[in-house]
Amino acid sequence: MFCTNCGAGVNLGQEVCLSCGFRVNQSLNYCGNCGAPTPIGATVCLNCGMNIRRSVSNLNGQDKVVMILICFFLGGLGIHNFMMGENKRGIFRLCLFIFCGISYIFALIDLIKLATDTYVYDPNALI
């Protein structure tokens, strides 16, 4: 088993990588099965073929059910984006709420993606 942030070997059941300090399986820079680097946007490891889909399993350490509830009630304000560390996206959603009032459309889309495990966590995304 390997750290998905730095690629260092970790023991089975280990919560935090001793090399980089990240929680195990929180990042998707390396394959957790073989330790090979994974390209951004890849759905499977090109070295071993393991599924590495970037989805709701990586919500920056946040619980899926909590994120769905926050998205349902406060999604138009972008609160769920701020909680996951997607600050650019959160600011964009907050500005849409203030100036246009259409941010709940994006929140509904996020809610559906969260519920169907297709939400892609990207801390640098704007939309």
Condensed to tens digits (0 to 9), the pLDDT of residues 106-116 reads 999 999 999 88
Domain residue spans of the chain: 1-53, 64-115
Of 9-13, 49-53, 117-121, where does mean pLDDT reach its minimum?
Answer: 49-53
Residue 107, classed as helix, strand or coil, is helix
The residues near 44 (Cβ < 8 Å, ≥ 6 apart) are 50, 51, 52
Contact 28, 7 (CB under 8 A): no
Please spell the DSSP secondary structure of 22-54, one letter per residue.
PBTTS--SB-TTT--B--TT-SB-TTT--B---
pLDDT one-digit tens code per residue, 38-83: 887 777 888 988 877 544 346 777 888 899 999 999 999 999 999 9
pTM here is 0.58
